Amino acid sequence: MTDSHGHVSVMLEEVLDLLRPAPGGRFADLTLGAGGHAEAILERTGPDGRLWGVDRDEVALETAGRRLERFAERFEALKHDFGGAPKVLADLGVGDLDGVLMDLGVSSMQLDDPERGFAIKADGPLDMRMSGRGKTTAAKLLDTADEAELERIFREYGEEPRARAIARKIVDLRKRTKLTRTSELAELVRSVTGSRGKIHPATRVFQALRIAVNRELEAIEAAVPGMMDRLRPGGRIAVISFHSLEDRIVKECFRRAEDEGRGVALTPKPLVPTAAESARNRRSRSARLRGWEKR
């Protein structure tokens, strides 16, 4: 399913198989994005099912709002980061959900807009904030964090083997000038690491900065168990992750809940896109889908 922005809903059929939306169902999509997954769920929960869509990206909320306008009476959009979604939904009195979806990937709307600062191959400001209201940009982080902290971010969040050398190069450069553009950072990393075949050498560094700027891992650690608690018995949660750090957190949350007898993992091993989907949408290739059911 592709929208007008070129966004493709990753592993849509697998998500629907796990969540089993049916008429009257109550669902939450904590990463609303362009609304593709939400649209499919709302279509299957008519005529009286409900869906609460959460996103902190203003552009995403506007785009999804237009796409889901025909479901106005059954759909409510909430501007918030997914880490705080369990409390926001609880404050609204939303409980006993039949299903929850979290798609942790960066959307095409964000990646394809150079002004957002996520793209490596298109020059733009070093921003990387999921919401324009965030206080810390990637440029500010690169300018203020000391060498040890930068190394930790690149190594821990990007699993970058040359983390120390890259951090040292950044600190040395900022004695003379500031890094403010994505092209400048990409070229700096390339000068330290050299080329790496098909994958851009700055990919891990950009990932690490995005995670640090948006505090993504902390949000996952809060949202997954929090939303598991919002499910009714028999309710399910499905989480799509795109790198090992995210997937590890989700796996551990599901394992801990299973050990406590609160539910069962539906995917002993994560589901991955079909070869056809990977060929059709290359951004889906690293996707991993896990599901859990509450007892």
Q: For 42-99, give the DSSP string.
A: HHHHTTT-EEEEEES-HHHHHHHHHHTGGGTTTEEEEES-GGGHHHHHHHTT--SEEE
Which residue type occupies 88?
V
For residue 142, what pLDDT is reported?
97
- Is residue 289 classed exposed, middle or buried when 0-12, 13-18 and 19+ CB atoms within 10 A define those classes? buried
Per-residue model confidence (pLDDT) at position 113:
83
Beta pairing class for 263-265 and 75-79: unpaired
Helix (H, G, I), strand (E, B) or coil at 186: helix
Q: What are phi and psi of 15, to 5 degrees?
A: -65, -45
Which token pair is 284? 């889906």
Which helix H or strand E contains 289, and what residues bound it? strand 288-294
Residue 33 contacts residue 7 (beta carbons within 8 Å): yes
Q: What is the pLDDT along the chain (295 residues), one digit of tens a residue?
A: 444 445 579 999 999 999 999 999 999 999 999 999 999 999 999 999 999 999 998 889 999 999 999 999 999 999 999 999 999 999 999 989 999 999 997 766 777 788 898 989 889 999 999 877 668 999 999 999 999 999 999 999 999 999 999 999 999 999 999 999 999 999 999 999 998 777 899 999 999 999 999 999 999 999 999 999 999 999 999 999 999 999 999 999 999 999 999 999 999 999 999 999 999 998 899 999 999 999 9
Inter-axis angle of helices 182-193 and 163-173, nearest 10: 130
Report d(CA 203, CA 74) in Å as an integer: 39
| Contact present, 69 and 121 (Cβ < 8 Å) | no
Token pair for 11: 């592993």
CA angle 254, 258, 261 (to 5 degrees): 145
**pLDDT at position 185, please?**
97
Q: Tell me how far CA of residue 49 lies from CA of 29, 99, 235, 239, in angstroms.
A: 13, 12, 14, 21
How far is residue 186's CA from residue 37's CA, in Å, rounded to a whole number?
33
Q: How far apart are CA 238 and CA 267, in angstroms?
A: 10
Separation between Cα atoms, residue 109 and residue 59, nearest integer Å: 8
Token pair for residue 212? 């640090």
